[in-house]
Amino acid sequence: MTSVQSSEGTISVQGQKLFYREARPGSGQTPRGLSVLLLHGIRFSSDTWLKLGTLDKLAQAGYRAVGIDLPGLGHSKEAVAPTPIGELAPSSFLQAVLEALELGSTALVSPSLSGMYSLPFLTAPGSHLCGYVPIAPICTDKVSPADYGRVKTPTLIVYGDQDPMGESSLKHLQQLPNHQVMVMVGAGHPCYLDSPDEWHSGLLNFLNGLS
List residues with catalytic annotation: 112, 163, 189
Measure the CA–CA gap between 136 and 110, rounded to whole angstroms. Answer: 8
| Torsion angle (degrees, nearest 10) of CA 196, 197, 198, 204 | 100
Q: Is 168 exposed, middle or buried (0-12, 13-18, 19+ CB in 10 A)?
A: middle
What number of other Cβ atoms are within 10 A of residue 11's Cβ?
A: 18
Q: Is the dihedral of CA 65, 179, 152, 119 positive or negative?
A: negative
Measure the CA–CA gap between 152 and 16, rounded to whole angstroms. Answer: 31
